[in-house]
Amino acid sequence: MTPAQLRRAREALDTFTIETPSWGFADTGTRFGKFFQDAAAIDLGDKLADGGHVHALTGCCPTIAVHVLWDFKPGEDPKAVARLARRHGVKIGAINPNLFQDQCYKWGSFGNNDAAVRAHALQHCYDSVAIGKAVGSEYLSLWFADGTNYPGQGSIRERKQNFEDSLRALHRKLGPKQTMLVEYKPFEPAFYATDIADWGMAYVLAKKAGPRAKVLVDTGHHYAAQNIEQIVAWLLDEDMLGGFHFNDRRYADDDLTLGSIDPYQAFRIFHEIHFFASDRGRMPKIAYMIDQCHNEKPKIEATIETVVMAQALYAKAALVDHDALRRAQAKNNVVDAERLLQRAFATDVTPALHAWRRANQLPVDPLLEHRRTGYARAAATERKRRRRELGLVQGGSFA
Ligand code: PSV
Ligand code: MN
């Protein structure tokens, strides 16, 4: 790396944080079953401890996303949870209401044709907003499993209107510091018409809900050939990009670790963000989050791998020479324009990552340092014992 590249990459790293998901530390599986890990988090305390450990090693994961039903026991004091997070050196990040597991949601939540169920779902979201205010969270992150499985099953327009009404009502409850993120997904669990199937639908609903509603892009929630960075560029240009759920995939919503299959995809997304920032003279406010399930890899290792990969790809994307790119684009010089991206992608940014970590008193290799601490071994021993004492069947925690 040249000294200028080194400086640029380090400055980029200064602006980058990424949120870890509480559910990424717990036992997860596919719908065919779960394979348990002794060190998997049992409860929210464990998840916050694991997330705090990841932040202590990487220095760029100061918040942890929580899922209300999986993480908050009924009657749990959110302020006590916020204090616990602080003790682990982190804060509570996005609040994710759970609108898909109760039996009452068989026909949907906000899209349900039963007003009583819609009211129940809305109340759960109001409660989630209140939790968010109590813990000082900036984001309410909404994903809906709503949809229909067969043609003719429901009125697509009526379901859309039900969504509009509920999201508008929910937006009115947001505090001045809260942003509502609307996530989309084209398939699963509904397999005919998911109610919020793509970014256009999420955009329309967010626009109608109010100014503090934005779109959330989960990289796994697209058709295989879809150009995700183009969606990102459009949302940026419309000031409607609220955040990301990062993960990688080979087939569908596989929730693999970021960059394990296609690192160039994440690079191209980050490039659009850096290019936008360079055009506008300001970095947009975006909630970078991870949404992965680590079914086979040790959970903390998989999380650290993801964070480190995200930092590397973000730093590489910062190295694209934007002035040269604008010149190449103005002349329709396709080859040179593409080479600028490829050259940045091929740059080894390890020296910048190491220098940034050293400057922030962090281990240069967070994964090796994690192994050296023996954290996972100790957690496995303690959690195994605690599961026995509590009489818990492994995997008793949600997610
Ligand atoms: C759904 O697939 C999703 O991406 C949503 O963001 C959920 O909140 C998350 O996964 C966890 O199940
Ligand atoms: Mn997601």
Closest atom of ligand 1 to 188 CA is 2
Choose the residue to mutate in 191, 218, 249 for probing ligand 1, maximizing ligand atoms within 8 Å of C-beta: 218
pLDDT score, position 395: 56
pLDDT score, position 250: 96
Residue 396: pLDDT above 60?
no
Is the CB–ligand 1 distance for residue 248 below 6 Å?
no
Closest atom of ligand 1 to 399 CA is 12
Which residue minimizes the CA distance to atom 9 of ligand 1?
Answer: 291
pLDDT score, position 393: 75
Which residue minimizes the CA distance to atom 10 of ligand 1?
Answer: 291
Is the CB–ligand 1 distance for residue 253 below 6 Å?
yes
What is the Å distance from ligand 2's center to 48 Cα? 19
pLDDT score, position 283: 96
Which residue minimizes the CA distance to atom 8 of ligand 1?
Answer: 143
Is the CB–ligand 1 distance for residue 291 below 6 Å?
yes
Confidence of residue 290 (pLDDT cuts 50, 70, 90): very high
Q: Report pTM.
A: 0.97
Q: Comparing C-alpha atoms, which of 359, 365, 371, 275 is closest to residue 312?
A: 365
- Report the pLDDT averaged over residues 327-334: 98
pLDDT score, position 110: 98
Is the CB–ligand 1 distance for residue 96 below 6 Å?
yes
Which residue minimizes the CA distance to atom 12 of ligand 1?
Answer: 399
pLDDT score, position 397: 46
Residue 30: pLDDT above 90?
no
Residue pLDDT, tens place only, 95-123: 999 999 999 999 999 999 999 999 999 99
Residue 173: pLDDT above 50?
yes
**% of the chain surpassing 70 pLDDT:** 98
Residue 286: how many other CB atoms lie within 10 Å? 17
Confidence of residue 333 (pLDDT cuts 50, 70, 90): very high
Token pair 């000031």 is at which residue?
239
Q: Among 3-12, 29-38, 44-53, 349-358, whose mean pLDDT is lowest? A: 29-38
Is the CB–ligand 1 distance for residue 183 below 6 Å?
yes
Is the CB–ligand 1 distance for residue 272 below 6 Å?
no
Token representation of residue 41: 């988090």
What is the Å distance from ligand 2's center to 84 Cα? 25
- Report the pLDDT averaged over residues 217-232: 97
Choose the residue to mutate in 19, 71, 143 for probing ligand 1, maximizing ligand atoms within 8 Å of C-beta: 143
pLDDT score, position 169: 98
Q: Comparing C-alpha atoms, which of 133, 135, 128 is closest to residue 99?
A: 128
- Report the pLDDT averaged over residues 323-328: 98
Residue 279: pLDDT above 70?
yes
Residue 133: pLDDT above 70?
yes
- Report the pLDDT averaged over residues 280-305: 97
Q: CB burial class (10 A; 0-12, 13-18, 19+) of residue 289?
A: buried
Which residue minimizes the CA distance to atom 1 of ligand 1?
Answer: 143
**% of the chain surpassing 90 pLDDT:** 94
Residue 399: pLDDT above 70?
no
Measured between alpha carbons, how far is 167 from 169 in angstroms, rounded to an integer? 5
Closest atom of ligand 1 to 21 CA is 11
- Report the pLDDT averaged over residues 169-176: 98
Is the CB–ligand 1 distance for residue 146 below 6 Å?
no
Closest atom of ligand 1 to 23 CA is 11
Which residue minimizes the CA distance to atom 5 of ligand 1?
Answer: 143
